Amino acid sequence: MAGEYAFVMKDLRKVVPPKREILRGIWLSFFHGAKIGVLGANGAGKSTLLRIMAGVDTDFLGEAFPAAGLRIGFMPQEPQLDPAKDVRGNVEEGVAETRALLTRFEAISAKLGEPLEADEMEKLLE
């Protein structure tokens, strides 16, 4: 049965302290290529359901499994921030790669404004 479905949940239940049941009796299965949506009020368990489907949350009762070989991507609702850094430090970490590219671009642009021999220009553009 599971081979024909992209994902299956059977009688899924999630309880958080102190004995608060946020998911109860979830049964679902959907085919490969299906487009699904998860709707519900704030606190209804939508994010928890998606974390379980992604394999990030494994503390639940019941069954939840993707088809063999299926890869599931997951982008958390809240970013994982470094508590040792302030807001600026966390933002700078997030844009560090882009900032490094811009710094390199600016350095190359400045060099290209100088008189260069052909071989120096080629080396610069590598």
Annotated domain spans of the chain: 2-66, 87-125
pTM higher than 0.85: no
Nearest 5°: the CA angle 4, 24, 66 is 25
Q: How many alpha carbons lie under 13 Å from residue 125 in its C-beta half-sphere? A: 8
Write the pLDDT tens digit of every residue in 103-125.
999 998 888 888 888 888 888 88
Residue 126 DSSP one-character state: -
Q: How many alpha carbons lie under 13 Å from residue 116 in its C-beta half-sphere? A: 15
The pLDDT value given to residue 75: 82
Write the pLDDT tens digit of every residue in 4-23.
899 999 999 999 999 999 99
Structure tokens, 110: 């400045």
Write the pLDDT tens digit of every residue in 18-48.
999 999 999 999 999 999 899 999 989 999 9
Radius of gyration, alpha carbons of the chain: 24
Mean pLDDT of the chain: 90
